[in-house]
Amino acid sequence: MTVVSVPDAGTSPAGLTRRTRVLRRLRRNPLAVVSFTVLAIAVLIAVLAPWIAPYSVEQTDFTNIFSPPGTPGHLLGTDDLGRDVLSRIMLGARASLEVGFLAVLTSLVVGVPLGLAAGYFGKLDAVIGRFTDLLLAFPFLILAVGLAAIRGASLGNAAVAIGIAQIPGVIRVIRSDTLRLKSLDFVAAAVVDGASDLWVLVRHILPNATSVILVQATVALPAAILAEAVLSFLGLGIQPPDPSLGTMLATAQQFATQAPWAATFPGLAIMVLALTFNVFGDALRDALDPKGDR
Amino acid sequence: MPRYLLTRAWHSALTLVLATIVVFLGIRALPGDPALSLAGEDRSPEALAAIRAEYGLDQPMIVQFGRYVERALHGDFGTSIRTGLPVSDMIRTALPVTIELSALAILIATVLGVGAGVVAAVRRGRPAEWVANGLALIGLSVPHFWLGLLAILYLSVATGLFPASGFVPFTEDPIGNLHHIILPAVILGTGLAAIIMRQTRSAMLDSLSADYVRTAKAKGLSPRAVIGRHALRNSLIVVVTIVGLQLGGLISGAVVTESIFGLPGFGKMTIDAVFQRDYPVIQAVILLTATAYIVINFLVDLLYSVIDPRIRVAGEAA
């Protein structure tokens, strides 16, 4: 992509591009490095889970029910059907990430164009504002309840419900960034130059809004992962026997006193995923903050 | 009434109408004949005909919608398929539980969040800030229903300090009521506390470097007075804003918390309704949640302009 008229991409006195400076700041922040490493490992495990999980997720072993953690062959123990907890966590994490990415993608695909339009075209602002108000009135769980009633509970519907609930947040941040960029000289110059509105939006405003979009995505992703866990826990998301960290906890709840580990590790996995995304998101936001450009 | 509030009132009313239309169309989007969905077990032709007449399902859409709104305004949401009780009666028993749980959670979150936020801002760069920041990050990242599960497992079952589930109405036994609801309220409040903490911290950092705080310091006020009287007052706005914005999350959280702790509230009623395909209850729940969200956020805006006159002025200038 050739971006000519992007002021942010100009070089600093040190002769470094903005991207290099952001990456350098990230590398110097130990929290960013640690969280990124953990995330990379988690994503790798999740992607490769079907091949590297020690057991198949549906493989039951009724002679080996509720084995405690550390049992030879079952590092994190087994559940009520003798299934390997570690293997199910690996595949559950995969499903969590899948729903998380799908939800965030949904919210960006709908929210970014609406946010750009609301910020750029004054006339559309009020209409899109009312649409945002309307979406906000339906919390994600209520949306999921409605969708489950109409279309049945599934991974896809959970992702859609979470994604729809995240659209207002996307519209808000993109709108305010568009308002800011619209008032800058280089946009005015492009307009004077005879550029169409669409051209200005796609070639000038959108590339400059990428850092805002990136930060929004890192905030939304852990929230979506937590939301998926809630929906699956309640039975409104991924359906058994498909592994999901939320459904694992729902089953484990019934046997919590016999097998506390089955109720502990899946939750810990959700927390580690969400925590590392949140830590990395914070670091990324700090690194992208122009106040640090010196 | 100032113009700003008039605009807000008009927007809220419009959103309410749109939300009602969405819910109404949602029921029509249910798979199959709505009369069948509403009838439940009794699917005799007579029962179906009675339902069609009652809901006006044989009438044009616009008439159906009019009748729907009229019934909703009278608090008539039909009869629950599962229990056979009027939906409005079920809501009347369930709602107080959820309101008590949420109010207590907001109270706990405010005390913890504002306290930790102030400490983090005042003790900037010290261990106290790192601890507060770390706790807030964990609060944002932990699945609360899992925290609830662990609390039941390690606090209720293991020590017997708290009941693991169940509920006693406040009017019957106030102490027993608090005993049952305090643990769920703490669990529900942790996520909100984390968000309030982070916002309070950054608002405090901003105001601590503001001119009026420097003036207050320069005229010899004690640090305690500066923080308490000047800087902290602004964080009140932060809390009010967040509670308004996070209301959706709070409602979702209450649903899960109630299911885990077996509290007979709005949330548990909702989840039971989904699995029983109790459509009259589901639509009432969705419509009421949306209404509550819109009305409470309007009230938050009202409160806002009372606390901070600048918002009123800025809104009128726009």
Is the CB of residue A120 less than 8 Å from the CB of residue A178?
Answer: yes
Nearest to A278 among B137, B260, B270 (CB): B137
Q: Are residues B151 and B192 in the same domain?
A: yes
Task: Specify whether the CB–CB gap between B97 and B167 falls below 8 A.
Answer: yes
pLDDT tens for each residue of B183-209: 899 999 988 899 889 888 888 887 777
- Shortest CA distance from B29: residue in chain A: A150
Co-location of B97 and B69 in the same domain:
no
Q: Which amino acid is at B282?
A: I
**Structure token pair of residue B85:** 């009780």
Q: Is A91 helix (H, G, I), strand (E, B) or coil?
A: helix
Whether B279 sits inside 8 A of A149 (CB atoms) is yes
Same domain, residue pair B169 and B52: no
> What does each of the 294 residues of chain A score in pLDDT, given as a tens digit?
444 444 444 444 455 677 788 888 888 888 889 999 998 998 898 888 788 777 776 777 767 777 777 777 777 777 777 677 888 888 889 989 999 999 999 999 999 999 999 989 988 988 999 999 899 888 888 888 888 878 888 888 899 999 999 999 999 999 988 988 888 888 888 888 888 888 888 888 888 888 889 888 988 999 999 999 999 998 888 887 788 888 888 888 887 777 787 888 889 999 999 999 999 988 888 888 766 554
Which 8-state DSSP code applies to residue B154? I
Are B273 and B217 found together in one domain? yes
Question: Residues A256, A15: contact at Cβ < 8 Å?
Answer: no
* Domain count within chain B: 2
In-domain check, residue B87: no
Answer yes or no: do B220 and B284 share one domain. yes
Q: Is A150 on the interface with B (CB under 8 A)?
A: yes
CB A277 within 8 A of CB A97: no
Instruction: Give the structural domain span for B271.
Output: 92-317
Helix A210-234 crosses helix A260-288 at what angle (to 10 degrees)? Answer: 170
Question: What's the CA gap between A43 and A32, in Å, rounded?
Answer: 16
B50 and B110 part of one domain: no
Report d(CA B146, CA B144) in Å as an integer.
5
Per DSSP, the three-state class of A254 is helix
Task: Report the alpha-carbon distance of residue A182 to residue A160 in Å, rounded.
Answer: 31
Alpha-carbon distance A60 to nearest alpha carbon in chain B (angstroms):
25
- Binning chain B into helix, strand and coil, the percentages to the nearest 5 are 80, 0, 20
Residue of A nearest to B139 (CA): A275
State both tokens at B199.
Answer: 């916002």
State whether residue B122 sits within 8 Å of chain A by CB. no
In a domain, B85, yes or no: no
B67 and B193 housed in the same domain: no
Same domain, B214 and B138: yes
- Fold of the CATH domain A23-293: MetI-like fold (1.10.3720)
State residue B80 phi and psi, 5-degree precision: -65, 135
Locate the domains of chain A by residue range: 23-293
Distance, first Cα to last Cα, chain B: 16
- As a whole number of angstroms, the distance between CA A286 and CA A25 comes to 9
Q: In this structure, are B101 and B250 located in the same domain?
A: yes
- Out of A134, A140, A270, the one facing B15 most closely (by C-beta) is A134
Distance between CA atoms of A115 and A167, rounded to whole angstroms? 9
Name the residue among B149, B157, B293 with its Cβ closest to that of A136: B293
Whether B244 and B161 map to the same domain: the answer is: yes
Q: What is the pLDDT of residues B113-147, one digit of tens each?
A: 988 888 888 888 888 888 888 888 898 899 988 99
